[in-house]
């Protein structure tokens, strides 16, 4: 399993596209519309909307680009990015990446199960450890556009895992997340999502 993950990391890293240089100061005034759902500093209050604060810049840029092009379908964001240039998107990504994420709390009853899955995976079903790509503290890998998970809302994380599982979300590199989520059961999704919410 480790060899497979290393191979995927090398492949993704080698095929990553060049990232436009973002300017956080230029990005801040462009986030007025974003703040309605994601918060002024990227720390959304509603658990259904993702926290963008502290997120890896390359991941944010890729997701916005995919949403704009239609490669990722987020109904609530349809058309919101259409008037923005690639530089605008890079600046917005740089702004949110420069903010500090506010970490939540994990459900105490799910911590152990979530921690075990995050750190060790489930060898019996072929689910790899989340930290193999996202790191022990959930900081992700900016060079490969792997997202920071630390502090993300449990509800949002669980919803995304289910979208990957069903194939409704399919803009992940080499279908890494689709293949992983497909092997996860409801209890595992709930536990690891809760653990991530309190991870720092």
Contact 196, 161 (CB under 8 A): no
CB 38 within 8 A of CB 49: yes
pLDDT bin (cut points 50, 70, 90) of residue 19 is low
State how far the Cα of 108 lies from the Cα of 30, in Å rounded to an integer. 38
DSSP 28: G
- Please state the pTM of the whole predicted model: 0.90
Structural domains of the chain ordered from first start? 2-7+103-197 (1.10.760.10), 15-97 (1.10.760.10)
| Paired tokens of 142 | 């900016």
In whole angstroms, what is the distance from residue 122 CA to residue 21 CA? 39
Q: What is the pLDDT of residue 110?
A: 98
Confidence bin at 53 (pLDDT 50/70/90): very high
Q: What is the mean pLDDT of the chain?
A: 93
């Amino acid at each position: 399993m480790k060899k497979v993950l290393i191979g995927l990391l090398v492949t993704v890293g080698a095929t990553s596209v060049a990232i436009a240089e973002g300017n956080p100061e230029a990005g801040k005034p462009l986030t007025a519309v974003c703040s309605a759902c994601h918060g002024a500093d990227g720390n959304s209050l509603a658990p259904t909307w993702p926290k963008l604060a502290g997120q890896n810049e390359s991941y944010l840029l890729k997701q916005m680009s995919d949403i704009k092009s239609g490669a990722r379908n987020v109904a609530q964001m349809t058309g919101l990015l259409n008037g923005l240039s690639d530089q605008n998107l890079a600046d917005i990504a740089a702004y949110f990446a420069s903010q500090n994420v506010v970490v939540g709390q994990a459900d105490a009853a799910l911590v152990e199960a979530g921690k075990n899955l995050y750190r060790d995976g489930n060898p019996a079903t072929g689910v790899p450890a989340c930290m193999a790509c996202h790191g022990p503290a959930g900081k992700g890998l900016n060079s490969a556009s792997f997202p920071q998970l630390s502090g993300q809302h449990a509800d949002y994380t669980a919803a995304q895992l289910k979208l990957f599982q069903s194939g409704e979300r399919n803009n992940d590199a080499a279908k890494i997340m689709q293949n992983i989520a497909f092997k996860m059961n409801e209890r595992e999704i709930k536990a690891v999502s809760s653990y991530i919410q309190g991870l720092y």
